[in-house]
Chain A
Amino acid sequence: MSGLNELTIAAARDALRKGEVTSAELTEACLAAIEGAGALNAFVHKTPEIARERAAAADQRLKAGDAPPMCGIPVGIKDLFCTRGVPSQAASNILNGFRPEYESTVSQQLQDAGAVMLGKLNMDEFAMGSSNETSCYGNAVNPWRRGNDAAPLTPGGSSGGSAAAVAADLCLGATGTDTGGSIRQPAAFVGITGIKPTYGRCSRWGIVAFASSLDQAGPMTKDVRDAAIMLSAMCGHDPKDSTSADIPVPDFEAALTGDIRGKKIGIPREYRMDGMPDEIEKLWADGTAMMRDAGAEIVDISLPHTKYALPAYYVVAPAEASSNLARYDGVRYGHRAKLAQGDGITEMYEKTRAEGFGHEVQRRVMIGTYVLSAGFYDAYYNRARKVRALIKRDFETVFADGIDAILTPATPSAAFGLGEMANADPIAMYLNDVFTVTVNLAGLPGIAVPAGLDRQGLPLGLQLIGRPWEEGALLNHAYVLERAAGFVSKPVKWW
């Protein structure tokens, strides 16, 4: 059988259970694809020995008839997840050489379900970025190109390596994390599906923290069914994360009925931005028509504080980051700067952090430090938290009015060229998250689904936002959109 690495999780699961294929074969196909895809720079730490060992164990379980849905499925893990004995650097030089003595809850759950880890995936440093260009490993590259133009494009960020790896069939699925759009924007840029569940669904334990009140893990997969399967394996209550929700995890795949008749889909007028490209506008209108044709009722809604989501986010997230990243001090793990004669502990901290953190991380830590400092705490941090409460209230109001899901574009553009934003001011890069960041601030589930190609042949995605804890219903809406859009394009292999 050829192209085993191209299978969906659902197809591989069914073939494994029927005995038509082994996990060892699937794993070898992915490892070979990874070896041939160095140009994408998606996998930054490969773990073939671990993969082969886990594949053999999965094949034993399958033989014994003890096979959960993810059993034997080869996946990639974002470098932000701590994995025991395997480098886990959050794409930062400050964690150079760090090999955790423990395993993150999410990657442990995947392992317990029989999933096979192929290695660690590239990302923006500490998940701060929208183009994977802040990584200490160098850029990950989008498998898609603009027609015959060989200019390398960004796979988006921060989960850029995860996006590139899934789109290029180097693995069947990958973990991502999403603080302001870091699963959904890269998924849209490479034409795959990515879901950020409700805040509290996935344990954050063992995931390198960026902004603790916004961070959530989620799967990045080839289609909606796979997202449902992989998400079920990643979710669940964890006493080690105090914000982890102690509520049952339903079978998300069982929610995919394809029936959304009578459901109310909200179209928020504030998401129609000035200067929005025609193609995005058309994609959104087409998606709206598809939902209507599927029997849903389309409702114009208002989320009046949308405009303030990005500025609120860029207060709250750096504030939390400056606190979370205080732990990187050159004492307990990772990099420590070489000290000069007479340097004391303060010089050790300052030099270590100057050498270990990249430019964007330094900037955000300092912004966070400033907005939390005496005299500015109320003016910036408290005000941003109040605006955040209003943004959340906007969503609560429309859901109370009976809206089942909200449809928006996933990104304001298709994937841009690597380096194209180098001279833009940081705010221009931040605008990538304009449609996704509200969802993190309100703690809601959101999913990006590929819905079409732009005139340069690049994928574009739509986003659906769901009610809290109703990922099953959200996935079902996404499933309807996916089937109606019929997106089947794949990047032409050049790597």
Chain B
Amino acid sequence: MSIDISTARKVAHLARIAVKEEDLPALAGELSAVLAFMEQLNEVDVEGVEPMTSVTPMRLKRRADVVTDGNIQAQILSNAPDAREGFFAVPKVVE
């Protein structure tokens, strides 16, 4: 499977990474090379094999459904590039 320019453009957009139009051919080439490397996996007989979901077979632990923290608005906002009146600020989303 090789990636063409329009697929590269689509993947970049799905990943929310701006890629200049003139950089798309090089990107498509790089992605294709990595995918070609992955093609080796097609040699493996995986019939009847369950995909690995957990490194160590374990039941996820449960905890009591209680509030363990809170009232830390200032801490949560302290690293925001733009915080106003107790909120994260972003460009207008709704017209």
A: which residues have CB within 8 A of B?
A: 97-101, 198-200, 213, 239, 242-243, 245-246, 305, 307-308, 310-312, 314-315, 322, 326, 329-336, 339, 343-351, 353-354, 357, 362-363, 365-367, 369-371, 373, 379-380, 382-390, 392, 425-427, 430, 442-443, 468
Contacts and interface: CB of A to CB of B under 8 A. Distances in A.
B91 A384 contact: no
A353 B18 contact: yes
Interface residues of B, number: 53
Contacts, number: 167
B71 interface: no
Contact of A314 (B37, B46, B52): B37
Contact of B46 (A100, A370, A383, A430): A383
A43 to B, nearest CB: 23
Contacts of B52: 385-386, 388-389, 392
18 contacts: A99-B78, A200-B55, A311-B38, A329-B16, A336-B82, A343-B91, A347-B91, A348-B91, A350-B18, A353-B16, A353-B18, A362-B17, A363-B30, A366-B12, A366-B31, A379-B1, A427-B33, A430-B37
Contact of A390 (B12, B30, B35, B46): B46
Interface of B: 1, 3, 7-8, 11-19, 27, 30-31, 33-35, 37-44, 46, 49-56, 58, 60-61, 63, 72, 75-76, 78-82, 88, 90-93
B15 A312 contact: no
A314 B38 contact: yes
A348 to B, nearest CB: 6
Contacts of B3: 370
Given A331-B90, A392-B52, 6 more contacts: A200-B58, A332-B76, A348-B91, A354-B18, A380-B38, A468-B56
A308 B55 contact: no
A144 B55 CA distance: 36
